[in-house]
Structure formats: structure tokens, C-alpha cells
Structure 1
Amino acid sequence: MKKGILIHSEISYAISKLGHGDDIVIADSGLPIPNKVQRIDLALAEGIPSFMQVLNVVLSEQRVEEVIIAQEVKERNPKVYEQLLETVCNYEKTEQIKLKITEVSHEVFKMETQKAKAIIRTGEYTPYANIILRSGVVF
């Protein structure tokens, strides 16, 4: 049996296939998912699992160099925005790196998801709880 935090086989496999600059998206339950992008659907019910739960587990496994979020999250979902900033700060300390944080309009964000290798759909029911994790390298 795999030892570690992330035991979901599809997510683990998707991360293992990432190269430098490849994207994985963690999405709330309402984000449209392009037909050509792998959908990993974890949504069970409202809030289960939450966006932040999934983000924290994925970050335990993936080396990230940039995060992309919608500008609207600041105003429309300040609680998630603050949690995102705290999570990014903790990730930087743990990994001893500096992440680039890019904010784009929600429309641009949705266009960017078309390039993702996979989109992980959560049970999150709050607006703009979405993030693109752009892969870095471990060396």
C-alpha cells in the first residue's frame, strides 16, 4: 500500500505525469470543465470534500512554482482568499521556495483551464474557490 498523505490513485497518477510548466486545477463544484481535460471528480455532497482539504493534500505531493487564481476571489470569497494566502505561505516555508501568485479575471482563468492536464472537482459550494497549480521541478 502507498505510504503518504495522497492515496487517491487518479490524482497521484496525474501528478506523476506532470512536467515543468504543466497545470493541474483544483475546482469548486461549479467550475466548467472542458471536454478534453481529464476530470477527477471528488464531489460527494455540498462541502465534501472542501476545496482547501484537496488543495492541502495535492500540495503535499506536487512541486509547484506558480499558482493562478481569479481576481474575483478577493472580494467574492475573502475567507477562501485568506486561506489560500496562508496555504501558499506555509508551502513556501516547507519547500523553501518562492511561489509566483498570478491573479487573472475569472474569464481568463476558465480559458487557462483548457490547457490543464487534469481538473480535480471538489464539493466546494463557495464562489471562485479555484486554483491552477503550475508545476515546478524538484531540482
Structure 2
Amino acid sequence: MLKNISPLLNADVLHALRAMGHGDDLIIADTNFPSDSIARQTRLGKLLRIDNVTAAEAVTAVLSLYPLDTFVDDSAARMEIVDKPNEIPPVQQEVQKAIDKAEGKSWPMMPVERYAFYERAKQAYCVIQTGERRFYGCFAFRKGVVPPDAE
């Protein structure tokens, strides 16, 4: 155990979060997402897992360490519901609350069509599969920067 680091963040996840650079994408996916096959196409090339937790719990843990990119509008994105792009199911509402809390302000997620989301995921640095069983618990987060300490 480490102080002030969520125990949900295992060594493989911590290594990936640290290795990522500004502009790299991270995918947090539900149990139905084709995580393994897509993860093999990412920069990391293997699937990471945070098992037995909801998407919101995983996002809360990740965003406790991971800065979102402030230079783009889509640094937080969600997979759209097929044929209902404006509907936001409870799983996505919970993740939105986790994002807003982590950022200390409203930080809206951009919707991404299902197949476009798959393509974005293939270009990501890595995929983390969660234990989320609700549909459309799939999210993309673009890494920002950690500014230098003020002098």
C-alpha cells in the first residue's frame, strides 16, 4: 500500500499512467467492451484491469492522479448510446459527477459515436477494463500536464 494513492490503482495501471504523456488517451471500459482485442492495438499493447468496481469508482481513482488536457474540448468523452446520442444513462451520469468532483468544476464529456469510439480506443495509449456491467460504461480521457510548482 502507498499513502494517498487509491488501492484500486495496481502497479500496472500506475506504471501506464506515469508513462503516458500530454495528449495520450486512456480508455476506461465496461465488461462488454472488446477490451482485450482493442488493447492489443494500443501503444501499450496489453489490457490493464481494475476489477470488481464500477466505472465511476475506477474514474475517481484514475483522476486522483491523472490531469485532463485543458487544450482540447474532448479530453473527457463518453460512448454514445446507439440511436440515442443525447441520452445519458446513469453510469455516464455517475462518471460525469466523478469528473466534475476531480476537476473542481463542470467538465462536460463529449459524446462519441460507438464505432468512432472503437477507433479512438485503438489509437489510445492503453485500455483499462473495469467490472462495470451496465451498458455504455466506456470513456476516453486525454492526458494533460502537471504544471511546475510556483516559485
TM interval, short-chain normalised: 0.7 to 0.9
**1:99, distance to aligned residue in structure 2 (A):** 4.2
- 2:109 equivalent to 1:101: yes
**1:9, distance to aligned residue in structure 2 (A):** 0.4
Match for 1:68 among 60, 63, 77? 77
**1:3, distance to aligned residue in structure 2 (A):** 2.2
**1:42, distance to aligned residue in structure 2 (A):** 3.2
- 2:92 equivalent to 1:84: no
Number of aligned residue pairs: 131
Shift >3 Å, 4+ stretches: none
TM-score normalised to structure 2 length: 0.77
Which 5+ residue runs of structure 2 have no aligned equivalent? 70-74
Q: Is the 8 A contact 2:78 2:92 kept in 1?
A: no
**1:81, distance to aligned residue in structure 2 (A):** 2.1
1:39-85: CA deviation from partner (whole Å, max 9, x where unpaired): 01333xxxx2221111110111111121111121863x621122122
Q: Is the 8 A contact 1:68 1:104 kept in 2?
A: yes
TM-score normalised to structure 1 length: 0.83
Separation of aligned partners in 2, 1:52 and 1:82: 9
Separation of aligned partners in 2, 1:74 and 1:124: 21
Q: Which residue of 2 aligns with 1:52?
A: 56
Q: Which residue of 2 aligns with 1:40?
A: 48
Match for 1:127 among 135, 139, 144? 135
Q: In structure 2, the residue corresponding to 1:64 is in which secondary structure? A: coil
**1:106, distance to aligned residue in structure 2 (A):** 1.1
The percent identity for this pair of structures is 24
Which 5+ residue runs of structure 1 have no aligned equivalent? none
Q: Which residue of 2 aligns with 1:117?
A: 125
Q: Which residue of 2 aligns with 1:3?
A: 3
Q: Is the 8 A contact 2:76 2:139 kept in 1?
A: yes
Aligned-residue CA RMSD in angstroms? 2.0
